[in-house]
Structure 1
């Protein structure tokens, strides 16, 4: 939101964002934009002026959590065990997404290919934050060289979206993430 906006536009933005956070927490990423507008006391056109797409709204609602995950990745970079650092950060991403409705949807790309114009600022921010952890783990031989951060985030999004209606989504997502990391073969 540009600082050059009029005071009433800034207030509308803040009110819409606060209501959207509550609605998305209660109803998930498919929360009604019309309901958000109604509760915020603005027209649906005002919501769409500030947030032209649902993805833009989800990104704004998720911004603080994305920033926390970026900081966490930076904190883990440079640790002794590159594989553990990467897995710890990915586990944090799973936990955040599973405990915060709408965050996994904010990371998902719409359509079969990422939109090169609109992009996905949430996913791009996490990819950038996690890349140093992944590349270090690759360099140390702890992760296959063909794995990308996009692959890992896509797995997390899939796990979280698949478990969001489970009785304990965070535990289910954590279990499936652990299974993904361990693989299907028994440990020897």
Structure 2
């Protein structure tokens, strides 16, 4: 995006923000044309930035992964390692539960054979970001719990609540129940 005109950068950012909301509300099948209309730009402008639905979804998920990875780095300084880890898991779960399509992308990432490019690289990025949080909180976790275990649980909860009328609240409730099993010293 460097070297683009200021209006092109604004259009890109606006399209991405509108797309995030549309995908959260409608899922991965949100209309690119409707996103363009809502953003107040023509469909040609939208297609210049996102020539395919895949390109749009990838940009939305990449931006969210950047946010979640940055949040993990921030929480490494949390005075209570367990609370920092649980806060990050809630952030991941909230995003997964309110953005239809991410749980499937996470599952595809996990199911792809080693060496095959992953569609959104979400699982690898979240594993790398959350691993240090798990290591820091290890003393308060059930022995042997890994970041992969926790991401699998979060993905399962997101998939289980995807069609619930209040997916985020139900996902939070299920995470609270799950935490009792992976960290019996306390609760979420």
TM-score, normalisation: structure 1: 0.68
Post-superposition offset of 1:144:
2.9
Q: 1:38 to 1:92 in 2, by over 3 A?
A: closer
Match of 1:121 in 2: 121
Are the structure 2 counterparts of residues 81 and 19 from structure 1 closer, same or farther at C-alpha, using a change threshold of 3 Å?
closer
Q: Shift of the alpha carbon at 1:103?
A: 6.9
Instruction: Using the TM superposition, name which of 101-110 and 160-169 deviates more.
Output: 101-110
- Paired with 2:83 and 2:7, the residues of 1 have a C-alpha distance of 48
Contact 1:25 1:102 (8 Å CA) reproduced: yes
Residue 174 of structure 1 deviates from its aligned partner by 0.7
1:158 is displaced (CA, Å) by 2.2
Q: CA deviation at 1:173?
A: 0.3
Change over 3 Å in CA distance of 1:92–1:20 after alignment to 2: closer
Answering whether residue 127 of structure 2 is matched by residue 131 of structure 1, we say no
Cα distance 1:52–1:143, how it changes in 2: closer, same or farther (>3 A)?
Answer: farther
SS in structure 1 at match of 2:108: coil
| Contact 1:76/1:89 (<8 A) preserved | yes
The 1:80/1:5 distance shift into structure 2, 3 A limit, reads closer
1:34 Cα deviation after fit: 6.2
Where does 1:11-160 land on structure 2 (aligned, <5 Å)?
A: 13-14=12-13, 16-33=15-32, 36=35, 41-42=42-43, 46=47, 50=50, 54=54, 56-98=55-97, 100-102=98-100, 104-105=102-103, 108-110=106-108, 112-113=111-112, 116-138=116-138, 140=139, 142-145=141-144, 147-160=145-158
Shift of 1:81: 3.7
Paired residue for 2:174? 176
State the distance in 1 between where 2:107 and 2:161 align.
18
Q: Which moved more, 1:15-24 or 1:66-75?
A: 15-24
What RMSD in Å do the two structures reach over aligned CA positions? 3.9
- The answer as to whether partners of 1:73 and 1:89 remain within 8 angstroms in 2 is yes
Deviations 1:125-164 (A, max 9, x none): 32222110112233x362433x432332232122123213
Equivalent residue pairs, number: 180
What SS does structure 2 have at the residue aligned with 1:144?
A: coil
